Amino acid sequence: MTAPLPSLRARVTPPDAVSPAPTHGHPPLIEVDRLSLYYGAARALHDISFAVPERLVTAFIGPSGCGKSTLLRCFNRMNDLIDNVRLEGTVRIGGEDIYARDIDVIELRKRVGMVFQRSNPFPKTIFDNIAYALRLQGLRRKSEIADIVEQSLHQAALWEEVKDRLHASALGLSGGQQQRLCIARAIAIKPDILLMDEPASALDPLATAKIEDLILDLKQQFTIVIVTHNMQQAARISDATAFFYLGELIEHDATSKIFTNPARKQTEDYVTGRFG
């Protein structure tokens, strides 16, 4: 066990190499500096530098295989699970280099939650899906666990739909409900950052709308980074947008600017649907 992170919230002055970001006065929480990532000899991310501001929604857009999910998984070190991954450059969260030797990955993941493309509730009850994360944190008191479960389900706008069947299987929920349960599970342990990897790509428009409302709600409390294929979705819910192409960060700016007046031709071609 390495020493726990002192505090991911403790902020340090951003280094000069980070590109100017549309922060709306929000300080940067995630700072990526000259990050390259290799799968074996193949380079998936190329020299990426930018910052994700606190308590805003940042969207990653770009065609399939552009590295946006790979980058997202750098923020909670999920790429550690894959053999042959090599990183260059740094990722700092709250000023802390999360790839430093003395970083506790477990502690990092408790502070950087993740919601996956395919909803992946545990084959347990709705209650236990959320309680699992809390018990991992060492919570034992039943009343306390029940309180947080209820609170998280409220936050994930799922409480009204499931309050009468908390002890039924989570797999009996609809796709959209399952995904909101996964969000409830992720926010139950109160992370600073919520990473979402195409959270609505498998859902119908109605369920997607609910997830989007939820995201707008959650950004009051969490810094959200969302990967999406859906350009309208990025435009609707994000404050900042980063466009990736072939492992490179092409442009990163305020969402309104990216979608109305992008600086780069490639970005314009992509957001207007000319390719990708």
Partner 1 sequence: MATFLILAILALILGNIFLQGGTGLSPRFIFGNADKDMFDVASAGVWPMVFGTAARVILMTLFVIPVGVTTAIYLTEYAPALSPFTRIIRGAVNNLAGVPSIVFGLFGLGFFISAVGGTLDVFLYPDSPKPVWGKAALIWASLTLAVMTLPVVIVATEESLRAIPLGLREASLALGATKLQTVLRVVLPQALPGILTGGILAVSRAAGEVAPILFTGAAYYMASLPQSLTDQFMDLAYHVFVLSTQSPDIEKTRPILYGTVVVLLLLTFALNLVAILIRARVRRNLRRLA
Number of neighbours of residue 144 by Cβ within 10 angstroms: 11
Our finding on whether 121 is near partner 1 (CB under 8 A) is yes
Window 67-106: residues binding partner 1 (CB under 8 A): 76, 78, 81, 83, 106
Which of 169, 201, 221, 256 is in the footprint of partner 1 by CB under 8 A?
Answer: 169
Specify the residue, 120 or 201, whose C-beta has the smaller distance to partner 1: 120
At a CB cut-off of 8 Å and minimum separation 6, what does 58 contact?
A: 52, 223, 224, 225, 226, 238, 239, 240, 241, 242
Minimum Å gap between C-beta 17 and partner 1 is 29
Which helix (H) or strand (E) covers residue 250, if one does?
Answer: strand 248-254
Q: Which of the stretches 60-68, 88-96, 110-118, 208-216 binds partner 1 when contact is defined by CB under 8 A?
A: 110-118
Minimum Å gap between C-beta 120 and partner 1 is 4
Q: Which of the stretches 44-52, 133-141, 144-152, 255-263 binds partner 1 when contact is defined by CB under 8 A?
A: 133-141
DSSP per residue over 89-103, as a string?
EEEEETTEETTSTT-
CA angle 13, 112, 204 (to 5 degrees): 125
The radius of gyration of the chain from alpha carbons, rounded to an integer in Å, stands at: 18
Specify the residue, 121 or 247, whose C-beta has the smaller distance to partner 1: 121
Q: Report the distance separating Cα 270 and Cα 246, nearest Å.
A: 13
Q: Which of the stretches 27-35, 49-57, 119-127, 227-235 binds partner 1 when contact is defined by CB under 8 A?
A: 119-127
Which of 124, 190, 229, 236 is in the footprint of partner 1 by CB under 8 A?
Answer: 124
Neighbouring-strand partners of residue 238: none
Residue listed under structure tokens 């900042």: 240
Binding site for partner 1 (CB under 8 A): 76, 78, 81, 83, 106-107, 109-110, 113-114, 116, 118, 120-125, 132-133, 136-137, 169-171, 182, 185-186, 189
